[in-house]
Amino acid sequence: MFRVLSLMLCLASPLMADVEFSGTVRVIDGDTLDVGNTRVRVHGIDAPEVGQPCTSDVLGTYDCGAFVRDEVARRYNGQRADCVEIERDRYGRSVAKCFVGGQDIGKDIVLDGFARAYRQYSMDYDLEEKAAQVSEAGLWSSAMQNPADYRAAQRTSSPDVAAPDANCIIKGNISGSGYIYHMPHDRDYGRTRINTRNGERWFCNEAEARAAGWRAARN
């Protein structure tokens, strides 16, 4: 009887594993937010990296990652978001769907042409991307490399700046501010270059970086 009751409860609550949280939004980049005290990687979308170049007839060559970050910040900074966690990524971020005023943030960003549907992980926004492309919304009016391809090219661009291990991509930078490590979702990750000859390093996780004397970047 107890086993039957437990099964009935599980079937009646299919979302019991989902983590729901709410908070004020602070935009980190086009697909990364702080919602309250939770760092969120927006589910199902992939925005250009800060430092990633795009070109258009109107703007010429410009930093489309910074452009998208600023546009997303203009829309959502200070707004209250309600989120449902899908999973955790390897950096410990909550991969989540978030809603402001009942509107799906990820869906709107893709539909307005500021990010691609991240089909490697989800097909949720496939149709929204196709609609944005047809209407040349947002960045679809510019020439832009797929963000995933851009990141891959950055990692292999030269032996000195590319991570030696695909699983160890945290950048341990040395600057006038001290020993700072940058996560891939951090604001300055794309523009930070690692020179191992100067003592800079790549780390596999944050605990390793902190143990070596580096501290997290302030976004």
| pLDDT band of 153, cuts 50, 70, 90 | confident
SS3 state at 24? strand
Q: Which residues pair with 172 in a beta bridge?
A: 181, 201
Place of tokens 């996560």: 183
Confidence (pLDDT) at 159: 47
DSSP 103: E
| pLDDT band of 84, cuts 50, 70, 90 | very high
Confidence (pLDDT) at 189: 85
Whether 48 has a pLDDT exceeding 60, the answer reads yes
CB 174 within 8 A of CB 162: no
Amino acid found at 122: S
Q: Which residues pair with 99 in a beta bridge?
A: 82, 104
Whether 156 has a pLDDT exceeding 90, the answer reads no
Mean predicted confidence (pLDDT) in 109-126 = 96
CB 73 within 8 A of CB 47: no
Confidence (pLDDT) at 5: 38
Tell me if the pTM is above 0.85.
no
Strands 178-182 and 215-216: parallel
DSSP 207: H
SS3 state at 7? helix
| pLDDT band of 135, cuts 50, 70, 90 | very high
How confident is the model over 8-37, as pLDDT tens digits?
Answer: 333 333 343 466 999 999 998 999 999 999
What are the contacts of 124-133 at 24+ separation with CB within 8 A? 124/43, 124/44, 125/44, 125/45
**pLDDT > 90 fraction of the chain, expressed in percent and rounded:** 53
Structure tokens given for 9: 């409860």
Cα-based distances in Å from 132 to 23, 80, 90: 29, 26, 30
Mean predicted confidence (pLDDT) in 123-147 = 95
Please tell me the distance from the alpha carbon of residue 219 to that of residue 181, in angstroms, as a whole number.
12
Helix ranges restricted to H, the chain: 2-12, 64-76, 105-111, 126-135, 147-155, 206-211
How confident is the model over 36-47, as pLDDT tens digits?
Answer: 999 999 999 999
Residue of 124, 49, 28, 132 lying closest to 84 (CA atoms): 124
Check the CA dihedral 180-208-197-65 and report its sign: negative
Structure tokens given for 181: 């490590």
